[in-house]
C-alpha cells in the first residue's frame, strides 16, 4: 500500500472538490446519514478532522476537540481549514510512530497512528460519497485509493454495535451493490458503501 498519508490526502482532495460545490442554501438537504442534514454532516466531518489532528499532536484529555464544528456560510473554507490542519498534523516528524487517543472508539486504549489514520481515511471516503449523494454530484476516486480502502471497510466489525446511538456506520447491506449495479461509481466503491451500511442507490 502507498503511504496512508498520500492516500488520505487524495481522499480529502476529492472531498474538498465536492464541498466546494455546496451552496449554503443546501445545508438543510438530507444525506445518506439519516440523522444528519448536509450541514450537520459537514460539521461532523470538520470536527473529526480537527479531532484527529489534535490527537496526532498528542492531545489525550480534552473531549471538546472532537466536537462538531458548524460550517456556517462558508462550507468550503471551513472544511478546507480543517483538512489542512489534519494533513499538517500527520506530516509532522514522527507522527506515524505515535499512538493516538480516539475516545469515540475506545475511552482508554491508544491506537497506532497508521491504524488511526486508516480509520479517518475510510471515514473520509464514505462521507465524500455522502456529500456527493446529497447534492447529486458525481464522485471520482482512483482505483488504487479504493483498493486500499476496501480491506479497511471489510475489517470494520459488523453487528449490534452498529445499532448503537452515534455509531459511525449502519449494519452492512446485501443489495447487489458489490456487482457494480449501484450508482455507477464502480463495484469497489459500491462494495465499500454496502459493507458500511450505505445503499449505493440512495437518492435524496
- What pLDDT sits at residue 179? 44
> Packing angle between helix 143-155 and helix 187-195, nearest 10 degrees?
20
- What pLDDT sits at residue 197? 87
DSSP string, 110-162: EEEHHHHHHHHHHHHHHHHHHHHHHHT------HHHHHHHHHHHHHS--SGGG
- What pLDDT sits at residue 25? 97
Using 50, 70 and 90 to split pLDDT, how confident is the model at 168?
A: low
- Find residue 110's DSSP bridge partners: 101
pLDDT tens digits, one per residue of 55-74:
999 999 999 999 999 999 99
* Domains defined along the chain, listed by start: 4-195 (1.20.120.450)
Read off the pLDDT of each residue in 104-117 and give the average, rounded to a whole number. 92
Read off the pLDDT of each residue in 85-114 and give the average, rounded to a whole number. 94
Distance CA 118, CA 67 (A): 20
pLDDT tens digits, one per residue of 187-200:
999 999 999 989 99
- What pLDDT sits at residue 83? 98
Closest of 107, 133, 102, 136 to residue 119, by C-alpha: 102
Angle, vertex CA 150, rays to CA 145 and CA 152, nearest 5: 105
Query: Is the pLDDT assigned to residue 171 strictly greater than 80?
Result: no
In whole numbers, what is the pLDDT of the chain averaged over residues?
89
Give the three-class secondary structure for 100.
Answer: strand
* CA-to-CA separations, 32 to 46, 84, 144, 198, in angstroms, rounded: 17, 26, 25, 7
- What pLDDT sits at residue 12? 98
The whole-model pTM stands at 0.89
Amino acid at each position: 500500500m502507498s503511504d496512508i498519508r498520500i492516500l488520505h490526502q487524495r481522499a480529502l482532495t476529492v472531498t474538498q472538490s465536492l464541498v466546494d460545490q455546496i451552496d449554503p442554501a443546501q445545508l438543510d438537504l438530507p444525506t445518506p446519514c439519516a440523522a444528519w442534514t448536509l450541514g450537520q454532516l459537514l460539521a461532523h466531518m470538520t470536527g473529526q478532522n480537527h479531532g484527529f489532528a489534535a490527537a496526532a499532536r498528542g492531545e489525550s484529555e480534552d473531549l471538546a476537540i472532537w466536537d462538531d464544528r458548524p460550517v456556517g456560510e462558508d462550507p468550503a473554507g471551513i472544511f478546507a481549514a480543517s483538512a489542512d490542519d489534519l494533513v499538517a498534523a500527520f506530516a509532522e516528524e514522527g507522527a506515524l510512530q505515535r499512538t493516538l487517543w480516539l475516545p469515540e472508539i475506545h475511552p482508554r486504549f491508544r491506537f497506532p497512528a497508521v491504524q488511526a489514520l486508516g480509520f479517518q481515511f475510510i471515514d473520509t471516503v464514505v462521507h465524500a460519497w455522502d456529500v456527493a449523494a446529497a447534492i447529486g454530484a458525481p464522485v471520482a476516486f482512483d482505483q488504487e485509493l479504493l483498493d486500499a480502502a476496501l480491506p479497511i471497510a471489510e475489517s470494520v466489525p459488523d453487528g449490534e454495535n452498529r445499532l448503537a446511538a452515534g455509531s459511525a456506520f449502519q449494519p452492512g447491506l446485501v443489495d447487489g451493490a458489490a456487482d457494480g449495479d449501484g450508482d455507477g461509481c464502480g463495484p469497489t466503491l459500491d462494495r465499500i458503501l454496502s459493507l458500511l451500511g450505505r445503499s449505493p442507490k440512495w437518492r435524496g
